[in-house]
Structure 1
């Protein structure tokens, strides 16, 4: 049977294809783009159906989210205690909490609804950096919620958490625990704050066993995440840290096999539990399950922590204001020791995989760049496109080296709004904060880059991310690094074809041109016409995935 051709008309099509930047019509057949241009230019395709549903709308390539986590689809099962107002998947707005007392009050109300006093209470979204220079949250604060029930608060960054004394006792962390990332109080006891994976692991394991907490490995988390993504125009997203367990893979395959599943999903393998060549062999086997909507092959290595959590690794002069909780070194924590990075990178590089490295601080970025240089000297490989994720503090010299080595960057531009004031005043200081997430410098140096939300750290929303890079406004309204502002056109490129490049999928997604997947973001407004300061307010009508129309109001 002959395939059906549909021609979508639009007020404007922004193609991101330099040879044909704008059009009014796009023809779709078999889920792919057949042609782009004017209606007259479509006349050569027989038996085509004209669809005018988007005649008053703007079409763009579907947005590409290069660093997010399926946790965004499951965290709303737990209690939100963040500083900012935030909308849950059902549309309810949860007011942000402005003090530790407010956090305790919301948790106490949630605890009363749980019933069983042994059932742990999990909350998320907390960040002490917004609460001034007073004492940080302690186990004693959370003891006010319960002295029997384990109470756990995952920080907004996902790199730290706070617990009450009942939790510490349950997992066996006390004054004798010899793990870096367990700050002590004045009496020498654990303060109740746990930093990074080694210290957090026993608590995460407790949550996995008792409340089913995981890193988005269940089918419902994937579906919830995908529906949130669709509402903001995303058609392709990563899950940039997935253990790729047998159960998790089966759930992801089942979710994405559903024709109604509204995005293409790219899980990145986090090889925390694999040693030596076990990891590359496991990933190679998993790639046998690749489909058009589920793509394996990325690797995620986490080198340092969170800048606002003071666990990232910064070059001299380190932190502008050191709160005394930056690990035994006084300068953050290494999550992957520098001495081990090159060998880990090489094991995946030799097998042809693309490696994405979490580097927040500039010292971590330097270590990653050095490791890539070392590995390429031993194992030359063109087109590797290894990518520094976040890379928030890279400077001009580092960007020049990245360009020479063929490295990409994926900037966390949302940080400028959410934490820019804190970086200016507390973590980096005024000078270094001006260059954070240096998109304009990357353009000048020729480093390909995308931009991301790191959801659930910040909400999914590529147009908001583009707004951050274009305007560089902090929460207080300060312009942070005016010389690093980029144009709206460059920002839109970063959330489409730019991010697709960093995922080695630019031949399939990221622009509207013949042969690529028919994946579109359908917008009520033209982002190239609205004022740059209104870019975040551009309305998303819905998406098209492989030619299938998926409006925002779809259940």
Structure 2
């Protein structure tokens, strides 16, 4: 096979032994050499197409969801303007009245009785009110209306949908919110309540990922952002979902490596472990079954995260558990004992405390070296908890984008000024030597690792307020967290995340040098192309 050498203006390798280079040699799907021209094979073909570009390892998105590939089939109602995969700009919805008008317009294009599904709405941006069935009924009352909130942990439905789901008279499961008369007000918090609606619709949005078309769109969105390895961090792992992932990744043209993490709460411990172990037999270079995802609490901005005292800054009641704490601990023990890796959703510090206790117990009962259990989000993890995480050998993957999108809300309403200084405490975690990654949680926020790095470096909210200057990291550190750091949390750092001899030839090719531009410009750098295993994928 012909060896191809790619010169570049600068190559940032993430290899501590050789941080920079000017040339990289690719043999098939692997890196053969990295360095200067003199380190390249003499008989190699020289490909100059990236000679004026900057090459990095392909970005690794360690926490996002293939649901990003499905949601654009529905109406976007988010507060921030957002660009869809087709290049269309969706304007931000900044009032309830504007939201209602969008619903009316969408309903006019649907068949009679067809459910209207929308996503991205965030009532936390509208102080003094929650979104209830009353606001939705005033807009559309002749069909079911379902709005999945931006956090993906809350939805609001109209009266038609409540009646169809059989919950208009009040809770049948935890999370069905009620009005003063004890009737369901349309707000449904967390998975148990939302799944009542999915069952009534016979259409579970979280299972839309069991579609090759959705998985292909997801991969295309990722590649356009420079990503070459991406997760689906709450995959239902139904037979259909497994079959779809195997089918779509079989193509050599699939532009990413896909790492699904099975949603633990969808199965009994024995069923889930058996199913996940069986799926691992289908692993290949573009598909890696293995991780499991445990959902503990909800979201801080959705008021469903579990916070330690003093709980919510504005006095709101504490959030919900997605399963009883003792059940969550038992699941940690079961998956740990089975030798599997857990990625654990812990938005609030009370959820962090519970999971640290569970993992400590598991390690005491069944010691394991290099388990790489990873706490996900852990937005307000405190310093004592980080020290314990370090002692237990945990990884942390923090939701840096939260600083921009909800930092102002946290400062004013949910957390208050003091706790906001440790929001996403990246610098502290690195000082303790904890393996750290950062993520976007798409579709909760847009998929774009360079913007995520921008958030970690600049720590600016949407209004321009800086939160937690002592937790800021350097550009070089942020780049490591979206490449090798994230790869480590997935157990793939021996294959991806840095440009080293023997690793996959996975590259992100950029128009500008992230170490040379103003750090405020970091999130605006354009991705020119990606390479996955030696195959170039142009970005339009």
TM-score, normalised via structure 1 length: 0.96
Q: Is 1:446 aligned with 2:433?
A: yes
CA distance in 1 between counterparts of 2:231 and 2:126 reads 32
Q: Specify the alignment match of 1:90 in structure 2.
A: 86
Alignment-derived partner of residue 191 in structure 2: 197
**Helix, strand or coil: the match of 2:483?**
helix
Distance 2:200 2:285 in 1: 36
1:143 aligns with 2:137: yes
Given candidates 214, 229, 245, the residue that maps to 1:221 is 214
The aligned residue for residue 304 of structure 1 is 297
Map of 1:132 onto structure 2: 127
Q: Which residue of the partner structure matches residue 394 of structure 2?
A: 407
Structure 1 distance, partners of 2:140, 2:328, is: 42
In structure 2, what is the equivalent of residue 515 of structure 1? 502
The DSSP-based 3-state class of the residue aligned with 2:231 is strand
Q: Tell me if 1:183 matches 2:210.
A: no
SS of equivalent residue, structure 2 residue 118: strand
8 Å Cα contact 2:260-2:288 kept in structure 1? yes
CA RMSD of aligned residues (A): 1.2
Contact 1:181–1:194 under 8 Å retained in 2: yes
Spell out the pairing of 1:251-262 with structure 2 (5 A cutoff).
251-262=244-255
Residue 213 of structure 1, CA deviation: 6.7
CA deviation profile, 1:486-541 (whole Å, cap 9, x unmatched): 00000000000000011111000000000100000000000000011111011110
2:328 pairs with 341, 359, 371, which one? 341
- Taking the TM superposition and a 5 Å limit, the aligned residue runs for 1:91-490 are 91-116=87-112, 118-133=113-128, 135-209=129-203, 214-323=207-316, 330-490=317-477
Supply the distance in 1 between the matched residues of 2:272 and 2:86 (Cα, whole angstroms). 38
Q: How many pairs does the alignment contain?
A: 540
Q: 2:6 aligns with which of 5, 8, 12?
A: 8
1:186 deviates by 2.2
Cα distance in 2 for residues equivalent to 1:43 and 1:462? 33
Q: Does 1:58 align with 2:54?
A: yes
- Cα 1:207–1:527 change in 2 (3 A) is farther
Contact 1:243-1:272 within 8 A present in 2 as well = no
Structure 1 moving runs of 4+ over 3 Å: 206-209
Separation of aligned partners in 2, 1:321 and 1:195: 19
Structure-2-length-normalised TM-score = 0.98
1:426 deviation in Å? Answer: 0.6
Shift of 1:341: 2.3
5+ residue gaps, structure 1: 324-329
Residue 43 of structure 1: CA displacement? 3.4
1:528 aligned counterpart, secondary structure: coil
CA distance in 2, matches of 1:403, 1:337: 26
Alignment partner of 1:477: what SS? coil
Q: Helix, strand or coil: the match of 2:297?
A: coil
Deviates more, 1:338-347 or 1:378-387: 338-347
TM-superposed deviation, 1:215: 4.1
CA distance in 2, matches of 1:413, 1:108: 35
Secondary structure of the residue aligned to 1:255 is helix
For residues 189-219 of structure 1, what are the alpha-carbon distances to aligned partners after superposition, in whole Å with 9 as ceiling and x for unaligned? 111110001111111223444x977341211
Task: Kindly indicate whether the alpha-carbon contact (under 8 Å) linking 2:170 and 2:176 is maintained by their aligned counterparts in 1.
Answer: no
